[in-house]
């Protein structure tokens, strides 16, 4: 997936092909959020005006680079973990192994969106820092990054729920849903707060 051009990825995403889908798209926008944070940090680093934050900006550059790579891997992983699930759905309903194979495939399919949620949650404190410490000429980019991060979280949680809803192991499903919901509730609120702060700073009064 990562070797596709933007146009090729969008063409595949728009087609009837099973992958990429919503999970891969969520990982991609998560990567875009991290990339925008990196851009803001790069526009800030070395500037006298922000010298007091230089150490923090250097750390942010390291962190965003790692998150970008993680999200890129998750675009691939989401496609990989969906394949066994797609095959499991094709198993005849009278096959005695179908239920077991399907349950395992559903659990595997949950793993990528859960990782997307975890990775996206790491972006949020960076957004909060950059809203204060980042170059003012790139403040709007912090707001865009916040909206992209929020989309990644919302997309990730839906891709968890669509799999847990079908699981027979309801205890595992509930625990997975709970963890996803906790991330969603905390970090979406924080993304919204960053966006609002940016908007208030940019609007003409």
In a domain, 109, yes or no: yes
14 part of a folded domain: no
Does 124 have pLDDT greater than 80?
yes
Alpha-carbon gap, residue 104 to 88, rounded angstroms: 9
Beta carbons within 10 angstroms of residue 55's beta carbon: 9
Domain total of the chain? 1
Does 192 fall in a domain? yes
In terms of Cα–Cα distance, which of 190, 174, 181 is closest to 123? 190
As a whole number of angstroms, the distance between CA 124 and CA 116 comes to 13
- Residue 205: pLDDT band by 50, 70, 90 thresholds? low
The label of the residue with tokens 């010298």 reads 51
Q: Is the pLDDT of residue 17 over 80?
A: yes
Q: Is residue 191 part of a domain?
A: yes
Residue 183 lies in a domain: yes
Q: Residue for token digits 């005695």?
A: 96
Residue 106 is predicted with a pLDDT of 95
Distance between alpha carbon 165 and the CA centroid of its chain, in Å?
21
- Tell me, what CATH number does 106's domain have? 1.20.120.680
| Residue 176 included in any domain | yes
Question: For all residues of the chain together, what is the average pLDDT?
Answer: 94
Residue 10 lies inside a defined structural domain of this protein = no
Tell me the per-residue pLDDT of 179-200, one tens digit each, with 9 for 90 and over.
Answer: 999 999 999 999 999 999 999 9
Residue 116 contacts residue 32 (beta carbons within 8 Å) = no
* Containing structural domain, residue 44: 19-202
Residue 50 corresponds to which tokens in the numbers above?
Answer: 């922000």
Answer yes or no: is 7 within a domain: no
């Amino acid at each position: 997936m990562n070797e596709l051009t933007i146009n090729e990825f969008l063409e595949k995403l728009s087609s009837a092909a099973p992958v990429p889908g919503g999970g891969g798209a969520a990982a991609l926008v998560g990567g875009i959020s991290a990339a925008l944070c990196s851009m803001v940090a790069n526009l800030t680093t070395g500037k006298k005006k922000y010298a007091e934050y230089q150490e923090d900006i250097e750390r942010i550059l390291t962190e965003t680079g790692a998150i970008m790579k993680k999200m890129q891997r998750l675009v691939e992983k989401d496609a990989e973990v969906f394949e066994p699930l797609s095959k499991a759905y094709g198993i005849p309903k009278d096959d005695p192994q179908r239920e077991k194979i399907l349950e395992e495939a559903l659990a595997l399919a949950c793993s990528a969106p859960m990782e997307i949620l975890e990775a996206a949650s790491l972006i949020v404190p960076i957004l909060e820092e950059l809203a204060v410490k980042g170059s003012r000429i790139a403040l709007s980019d912090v707001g865009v990054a916040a909206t992209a991060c929020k989309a990644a979280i919302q997309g990730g949680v839906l891709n968890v729920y669509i799999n847990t809803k079908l699981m027979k192991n309801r205890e595992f499903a509930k625990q997975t849903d709970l963890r996803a919901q906790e991330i969603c509730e905390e970090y979406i609120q924080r993304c919204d707060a960053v966006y609002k702060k940016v908007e208030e700073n940019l609007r003409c009064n």
